[in-house]
Amino acid sequence: MKCMLCESLSFTHICTNCQDTFLTPSIYKRKILNDVEVISFYKYKEIKELLHTKHTDLGFYIYSILAKNSMQKFASEFEFDSTVISIAIDDHIQSGYSHTAVLNKSLKSKCIKPKFNKLRANNRVSYSGKSKEFRLLNPREFQLNNFNDNEVILIDDIITTGSTLTQAIQTLKSNKKEVLFCLTLADASLK
């Protein structure tokens, strides 16, 4: 097959050279709810076209590559006093797979144990391209499926206004769970 970016022959959808050149992650941080840190690995504008594959057959492979280069690397270096769990925002299956579940699965390590099907949105409205006002007027209405662990890392693909993560954090806090921090692939607020 050919690399999507440079069109060289490749065994993967994006060749190793292009992954090294264009998909080397950086760390970007911001806080939401005044105290919860969100760590992102890319500027949205730099990987926008790749992120837009998420609801296609190709998206599974692209998200797997992005997860390997960012979240898996993060998890391998992450240290904590005990094992914590990670849960993805609304990891229901759409278009044959869940893009947030792919990200969450990549975090499996000695200190992080991914859990699935734990945080689901009852309101399936799409926030893509919508204003902060729209997002506030159409809350996700998250439902938490019970689990025993108390310390959580929350996972999503993109942070734009922070409203989805904020709603998820509030749901977890109301169920006596502590969100240590959030991880996203990309931050749309970065220029």
- The CATH number linked to 46 is 3.40.50
pLDDT band for position 136 (cuts 50, 70, 90): confident
Query: What confidence category does residue 140 fall into, taking pLDDT thresholds of 50, 70 and 90?
Result: confident
| CA–CA distance, 19 with 50 (Å, rounded to integer) | 12
What's the domain range around 94?
16-187
Residues near 31 by beta carbon (within 8 Å), at least 6 away in sequence? 37, 38
The reported pLDDT for the residue numbered 49 is 94
Is 37 among the domain residues? yes
Segment 72-96 mean pLDDT:
90
Residue 10 belongs to some domain of the structure: no
pLDDT digits (tens, 9 = 90+) for 85-103: 999 998 777 767 899 999 9
135 in any annotated domain? yes
Q: Is the pLDDT of residue 135 over 80?
A: no
> Is residue 59 a part of any domain in this protein?
yes
Query: What 3-state class would DSSP assign to 24?
Result: coil
The encoded tokens of residue 15 equal 């060749």
Per-residue pLDDT of 162-186, as tens digits, reads 988 999 999 999 999 999 999 999 9
Of residues 92 and 68, more confidently modeled: 68
The answer to whether residues 57 and 95 touch, using CB atoms and an 8 Å cutoff, is yes
Mean pLDDT of the chain: 92
Mean pLDDT of 34-62: 93
Whether 48 has a pLDDT exceeding 90, the answer reads: yes
Q: How far apart are CA 113 and CA 155, in angstroms?
A: 13
| pLDDT at residue 34, as a whole number | 81
Looking at the structure of the chain, the number of domains it has is: 1
